[in-house]
Amino acid sequence: MSAQIIDGKAFAADLRTRIAGEVARLRAATGRAPGLAVVLVGEDPASSVYVRSKGKATIAAGMLSFEHRLPADVSQDTLLALVARLNADPTVDGILVQLPLPRGLDESAIITAIDPDKDVDGFHPVNAGRLATGLPGFVPCTPLGCVMLLKSVLGDLSGKDAVVIGRSNIVGKPMAQLLIAESCTVTVAHSRTRDLKAVVARADIVVAAVGRAQMVRADWIKPGATVIDVGINRTEAGLVGDVDFADVAGVAGAITPVPGGVGPMTIAVLLRNTVVSAARRDGFAVDL
H/E element holding 39? strand 35-41
93 is catalytic: no
Catalytic residue among 117, 119, 121, 204: 121
121 is catalytic: yes
How far, in Å, CA of 276 to CA of 287, rounded?
A: 9
What is the SS3 assignment for 152? helix
54 is catalytic: yes
Angle formed by the axes of helices 141-154 and 263-281, to 10°?
Answer: 100
How far, in Å, CA of 41 to CA of 257, rounded?
A: 31
Calculate the CA 67 to chain-centre distance. 20
Catalytic residue among 54, 118, 160, 222: 54
Paired sense of beta strands 238-240 and 233-235, if any = antiparallel
**Given CA atoms 268, 172, 136, 65 in this order, what sign does their dihedral have?**
negative
How big is the CA angle at 155 (ends 149 and 156), to the nearest 5 degrees?
120
How far, in Å, CA of 221 to CA of 3, rounded?
A: 12
Cβ atoms of 16 and 58 within 8 Å: the answer is no
Q: Which residues face 35 on adjacent strands?
A: 64
Catalytic residue among 93, 98, 119, 242: 98
Q: How far is CA 19 from CA 30, 85, 94, 159, 276, in A?
A: 16, 27, 15, 30, 10
Residues tagged active-site: 54, 98, 121
